[in-house]
């Protein structure tokens, strides 16, 4: 997680009484403005400038959302998940760049592989952050936890030219909070004997799971800081927050977090969706945009060595009514060709003619990891294996030469129309299909 705007910076933190990292075996590594940093790496002329990765790189594309913002853009108030139109008003001089997901997946694979050289206990949370339990690696590496954190920061930058922040602590909660508070490009150790001194002066929003609504409830109870939650009577917390939430926050406020690092937690689904810059009725245009989404989704699957059996389609109408439909396959796939065929059938079967669409999304669920033999059939589905090989070759070309290197011919007809699109008008490239 990035550092919350209402939390202090490292310079503002109360300094723990001890600097020892003994018993601090949990690390949380969080890439700094990951997507934006990767884009800046590819375009050095953007170094030091406000950069926003988001859909809608043209003036009409104001219905997308910000995916990532450089720290220069954040200084103007630009934040992830902010509408692009708002971000443009806050920072009109920013460079708005569409996302290149295969490129981010490639960097993520390299970073996660580096983590696994240190310890097998790596729990990825997303492409750009992970927990590491380094207790079993200290003797082998001859390093202390803080030294491992510094080594990781140096290796990530040397190998990928992007920076990360590292939190070191006695639990996952403390390590994650420490990494967010040390951003950007920093390291913060919270000693086991300094947890409460570190936690208690912080605002209640520092507690994992406290959003604006929960924070309002806590403030009504007189809880402004973590210390207030720690000493609040549990019965009062339970009445206002419920038994489970109250116990969770009370434990965290008192420095208790028994969760361990669980390597390779299974991902439940991978998907992509777009809010269009204007409502779309044309069925051919919708199918072309659906193909863009399927390409993004399946590229992410292949980048994470995942396949899925259930294809889900999401449609949102101009009045914000949203419907979801899905179909389960006989065997898992990562092929854009196959996913698009199913998604198109779902679109045709569930969208009445002449109906306008505000948002379109596709998701692959029931995931499995690793190679899975696809059942050959007599109805033409056996071409999936061929398409999978073609798509993997295209992934490799795009990650090396950029998103325009290899593209489906259908997507060369026009640039993306969506407010959250990831495609630019092609300058050159090979055509497939």
Give the residue from 159, 177, 195 where a domain finishes. 195
Query: pTM surpassing 0.85?
Result: no
Give yes or no: residues 171 and 277 share one domain: no
Q: Is 129 among the residues known to form the active site? A: yes
CATH number at residue 345: 3.30.1490.100
Give yes or no: residues 222 and 165 share one domain: no
Give yes or no: residues 127 and 242 share one domain: no
| Res 139: pLDDT | 87
DSSP 8-class letter at 193: G
| Res 426: pLDDT | 24
Q: For residue 148, give its domain range.
A: 1-195
| Res 357: pLDDT | 94
What are the 10-residue block averages of pLDDT along the chain, 433 residues in total?
52 46 92 96 94 66 82 95 91 93 90 92 93 92 92 94 96 95 94 94 92 92 95 93 94 94 80 84 95 91 89 91 93 94 96 92 90 53 54 57 51 49 29 26
| 122 falls within a domain | yes
Structure tokens at 133: 């339990």
| Res 47: pLDDT | 95
| 261 falls within a domain | no
CATH number at residue 227: 1.10.150.20
Give yes or no: residues 52 and 128 share one domain: yes
Give yes or no: residues 150 and 191 share one domain: yes
Q: Can you tell me the distance from the alpha carbon of 346 to that of 349, in angstroms, rounded to the nearest whole number? A: 5
Percent of residues in the chain assigned helix, strand, coil, to nearest 5: 40, 20, 35
Catalytic residue (one of 39, 129, 274, 289) = 129
| Res 211: pLDDT | 87
Structure tokens at 289: 């945009």
Give yes or no: residues 276 and 235 share one domain: no
The closest alpha carbon to 310, from 332, 340, 278, 293, belongs to 332
Strands annotated E in 262-317: 269-280, 306-316
Give yes or no: residues 179 and 249 share one domain: no
| Res 70: pLDDT | 97
Give yes or no: residues 129 and 20 share one domain: yes
């Amino acid at each position: 997680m990035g550092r919350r705007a209402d939390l202090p910076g490292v310079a503002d933190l109360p300094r723990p009484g001890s600097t020892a990292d003994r018993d601090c075996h949990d690390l949380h590594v969080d890439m700094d403005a990951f997507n934006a940093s990767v884009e800046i790496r590819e375009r050095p002329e953007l170094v030091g400038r406000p950069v926003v990765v988001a859909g809608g790189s043209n003036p009409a594309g104001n219905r997308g959302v910000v995916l990532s913002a450089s720290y220069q853009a954040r200084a103007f108030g630009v934040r992830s998940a902010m509408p692009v139109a708002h971000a443009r008003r806050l920072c009109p001089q920013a460079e708005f760049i569409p996302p290149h997901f295969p490129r981010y997946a490639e960097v993520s694979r390299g970073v996660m592989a580096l983590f696994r050289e240190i310890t097998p206990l790596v729990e990825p949370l997303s492409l750009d952050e992970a927990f590491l339990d380094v207790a079993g690696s200290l003797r082998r590496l001859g390093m202390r936890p803080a030294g491992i954190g510094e080594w990781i920061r140096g290796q990530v930058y040397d190998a990928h030219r992007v920076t990360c922040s590292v939190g070191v602590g006695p639990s996952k909660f403390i390590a994650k909070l420490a990494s967010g508070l040390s951003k950007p490009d920093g390291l913060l150790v919270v000693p086991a004997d300094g947890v409460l001194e570190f936690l208690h002066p912080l605002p209640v929003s520092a507690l994992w799971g406290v959003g604006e609504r929960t924070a309002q409830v806590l403030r009504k109870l007189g809880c402004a800081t973590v210390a207030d939650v720690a000493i609040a009577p549990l019965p009062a917390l339970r009445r206002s927050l419920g038994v489970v939430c109250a116990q969770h926050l009370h434990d965290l406020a008192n420095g208790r977090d028994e969760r361990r690092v669980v390597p390779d937690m299974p991902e439940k689904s991978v998907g992509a969706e777009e809010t269009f810059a204007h409502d779309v009725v044309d069925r051919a245009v919708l199918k072309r945009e659906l193909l863009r989404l399927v390409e993004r989704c399946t590229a992410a699957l292949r980048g994470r060595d995942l396949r899925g059996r259930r294809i889900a389609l999401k449609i949102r109408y101009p009045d914000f009514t949203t419907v979801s439909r899905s179909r389960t396959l006989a065997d898992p796939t990562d092929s854009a060709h196959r996913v698009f065929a199913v998604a198109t059938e779902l679109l045709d079967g569930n969208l009445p003619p002449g109906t306008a669409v505000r948002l379109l999304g596709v998701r692959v669920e029931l995931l499995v990891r690793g190679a899975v033999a696809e059942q050959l059939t007599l109805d033409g589905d056996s071409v999936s294996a061929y398409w999978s090989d073609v798509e993997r070759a295209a992934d490799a070309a795009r990650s090396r030469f950029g998103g325009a290197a290899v593209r489906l011919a259908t997507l060369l007809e026009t640039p993306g129309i969506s407010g959250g699109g990831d495609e630019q008008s092609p300058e050159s490239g090979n055509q497939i299909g």
